[in-house]
Amino acid sequence: MRLGIIGLPQSGKTTLFNALTRGTQPTGTVTGKVEVHTAVVDVPDERVERLTEIFHPKKTIYAKVTYADIAGLDGSAGRTGISGTLLNQLTQMDGFIHVVRCFENENVPHPAGSVDPRRDLAAMDGEFILNDLIAVERKQERLAEERKKGGGRDKTAIEREIALFERLHQMLTEEKPLRDLPLSEEEEKLLSGYGFLSRKPVLVVLNLAEGQNPPKIDYPHAHSKVEALQGRLEMDIAQLPLEEAQMFLQEYGIQEPSLNRVIRLSYDLLGLQSFFTVGPDEVRAWTVRRGATAVEAAGEIHTDLQKGFIRAEVVAYEDLISLGGMNEAKAKGRLRLEGKEYVVKDGDILTIRFNV
């Protein structure tokens, strides 16, 4: 999972990046250049810790998330769209964390002259919508030319694609993000290679000053959530030793670190879940989309397991924990044999049987 941290200059993108990754990237600098800093972080999961206590493996491996702090967006792309280098970085992301400035700080002036989170949120949305509109119009021109020339692809397929891109164009001209447009499974597959920015899920993070109450932001878009946090405070706490960090979290009434909350919300937005493999050598968490089958989950582990899939031995995490171990789960009939079409549940513990 790759999540791009975006926002207007001086919004606190790098501050949040440091809070999530326990990094020490300099904050408050604005160069106007396209800069990307990345870090890979373990996904916090108490279930992995419990499974490690039971199986005492040689290795414990958490699921991973990659955060990318992307600088270069300033709301001024205009009719030319977002520059190629920056656009390439953005299209590679599975989703975005959009940092919106809500804090006042006279030492860090807002580029627009005032703090207005609704204006800034609309500016970034508008930039993505405009960029997608340019791409859609270019595709429409190519489709019109293809229809005119004839030959090549099936005419019915071309007409279906033309109709789909007309719907996209209508959505964008109404200044609505493409993630609000319902699509069939076939249409989702057709658009998967385009990397439209306004289709990607977005977690809007309202970046508050210490003790500041969050503004009420109405953001009624699909595949979107709004979360408020005190970015500077969270960054400072993230860089403390664990025991001191826990003490400060309690003192400031923060229920859990921003890392945990943001990852959980991101998983939900992207429609992801975790399953586990266990044994004396390794306890490991894997990430898979909700609705994935057992054979798809096998492919996340290794392509050979997917190719030679025979069956999956499955036990729910809750059953294994409540019964005390794998042998007890077997004895109680909680270990099941499932085939290729089994839909994996969050927390399933899988053992893949295969033959290649």
Residue 328 clears pLDDT 80, i.e. is over it: yes
Mean pLDDT of 321-341: 94
Dihedral angle computed from the Cα positions of residues 300, 302, 303 and 307, in that order, rounded to the nearest 10 degrees: -100
Mean pLDDT of 278-293: 95
Question: 77: how many CB neighbours lie within 10 A of its CB?
Answer: 19
Binned at pLDDT 50, 70 and 90, residue 23 comes out as confident
Question: 273: how many CB neighbours lie within 10 A of its CB?
Answer: 20
Spelled out in words, what is the top-level CATH class assigned to the domain 291-354?
Answer: alpha beta
User: What integer pLDDT is reported at residue 266 of this predicted model?
Assistant: 86
Residue 239 clears pLDDT 80, i.e. is over it: yes
Least confident segment among 39-53, 173-187, 204-218, 238-252: 238-252
